[in-house]
Amino acid sequence: MNNREVIWGEMDRLTKAGLSQLGYTELELERAAELTYQINQRKSKEDVVIPAHVYQRAEILYGVADFVGDSLKLSRLCAESPAKKIVFCGVRFMAETAKILSPDKEVFLPALEAGCSLADSITREEICKLKSEYPGVPVVSYINTTAEVKAESDVIVTSANASKILQALFQKHDRIIFLPDEWMGRNLARELNKKVGEELIIHNGKCIVHEGFDPGAVEHYRRQYPGVKILAHTECSPALVAAVDFAGGTGDMLKYIKNTSASSYMLVTECGLGDMARAEFPDRHFIPMCRLCPYMKATDLAHVLKTLETPSSEQRIELPPELIRAARRPLDRMFELST
Ligand code: 13P
Ligand code: SF4
């Protein structure tokens, strides 16, 4: 087989894997195929695994990822994977979590700009200040936090288990601190019937993607598309969450689509989830109402190839052993409480 035939074969594989549903042009498919082919060749010679969050570009999800999922699924699978090296297609807090759970593995983050506005919204000093203002009150931190903030927390939660874990903790405590996502905190307080500022102390962090959705648009789309099921991430505002048919994390939203059969769906979240849903459920109809996360979309195939071939020291996740030990404790507590 000559080189052209190899690339045509790879284009065919990508098309069948799901990209045909997503409107890739022939040229885009060819460019992607040239890189996915090289990445997969390289991968086959190394003990490496590529996890990818569902908001990543579709050519990463369907071209090179070994597993795809939400924050909870990825953290579990990274810890279980026997591979010695992890090239994490997601954002920094996810790659740090992988390192905390697998300190002996080499973990790389391909794009240095892949941060997160929520993780940036609270520092170690701020969490320590909150702890001194509310002594003895347990601190529950969303997984979208830095390793330093995790290390000062009692329990970590993700969008998939926050409600269950908070419910369990409220059996023993009258008051809990939840950080850093204000909207998620308010949504949880409403769901669990807790008073914000009294029973649930929250921080003011926001996701720059989910804070931007307009709750007023929901009624407009309902009138325009009768029968549409509207799903939103719980990082959206309480007004928006109250107006939709289902609110949850990305994994829960995909489960909801799988288990229902509506005339159409609208996913109020980062656009990657809609792309994935279109590829996974080609017989369903999806109406777009999404925003791009600049952090999630910072990673492309060229970064992944470069990380495999000649990783820089900045791409390698390095955390001091004592920080890893301290940040591991609340993550283990999460796994205990969410099984
Ligand atoms: P999920 O765990 O629901 O995938 O959320 C991660 C995230 O960053 C949402 O913005
Ligand atoms: Fe962070 Fe929001 Fe991007 Fe998720 S979508 S990584 S919470 S900025």
pLDDT: which is higher, 1 or 62? 62
Tell me how far apart the alpha carbons of residues 26 and 43 are, in angstroms, rounded to a whole number.
Answer: 25
pTM for the structure as a whole:
0.96
Determine which residue's CA is closest to atom 2 belonging to ligand 1: 71
Computed over every residue of the chain, the mean pLDDT equals: 96
Amino acid at 270: E
Average pLDDT over residues 145-150: 98
Answer whether residue 104 shows pLDDT above 80.
yes
293 lines ligand 2 (CB under 6 A): yes
Tell me, in angstroms, the distance from the centre of ligand 2 to residue 321's CA. 27
Buried b (16+ CB within 10 A) or exposed e, 67-85: ebbbbbbbbebbeebebeb
> Which two tokens mark 310?
């000649």
Encode pLDDT of 171-207 as tens digits: 999 999 999 999 999 999 999 999 999 999 999 999 9
Instruction: Quote the pLDDT of residue 85.
Output: 97
Q: Are 71 and 158 in contact (CB under 8 A)?
A: yes
Burial of 143 (0-12, 13-18, 19+ CB in 10 A): buried
Position 20 scores a pLDDT of 81
Please give the pLDDT value at position 1. Answer: 63
Give the position, in ligand 2's atom list, of the atom nearest the Cα of 116. Answer: 1
143 CB near ligand 2 (under 6 Å):
no
Q: Could you tell me the pLDDT band of residue 220, with boundaries at 50, 70 and 90?
A: very high
- Model confidence over 272-320: pLDDT tens digits? 999 999 999 999 999 988 999 999 999 999 999 999 999 999 999 999 9
Q: What is the pLDDT of residue 132?
A: 97
Burial 30-44 (b: 16+ CB within 10 A, else e): bbbbbbbbbbeebbe
Per-residue tokens: 191: 């769901």
List all residues 6 or more positions away from 249 whose beta carbon is below 8 Å from its beta carbon: 70, 71, 72, 158, 159, 160, 233, 234
95 within ligand 2 shell (Cβ under 6 A): no
**Test site for ligand 1: of 68, 159, 291, most ligand atoms within 8 A of the Cβ:** 159
Q: Average pLDDT, stretch 48-62?
A: 97
Pocket test for ligand 1, best of 184, 250, 254, 255 (most atoms within 8 A of CB): 250
Q: Counting atoms of ligand 1 from 1, which one is nearest the CA of 116?
A: 8
> Which domains, from first to last, does the chain contain?
3-115+297-309 (3.40.50.10800), 119-207 (3.40.50.10800), 210-292 (3.40.50.10800)
Evaluate whether 87 touches 304 at the Cβ level (below 8 Å).
yes
Please report the atom of ligand 2 found closest to the CA of residue 91.
6
Rounded to whole angstroms, the Cα distance separating 296 from 79 reads 21
Ligand 2 midpoint to CA 117 (Å): 6
> Given a cut of 90, is residue 337 above it in pLDDT?
yes
Q: What is the pLDDT of residue 146?
A: 98
> Which residue among 91, 143, 179, 184 is best mutated to probe the pocket of ligand 2, counting the most ligand atoms within 8 A of its Cβ?
91
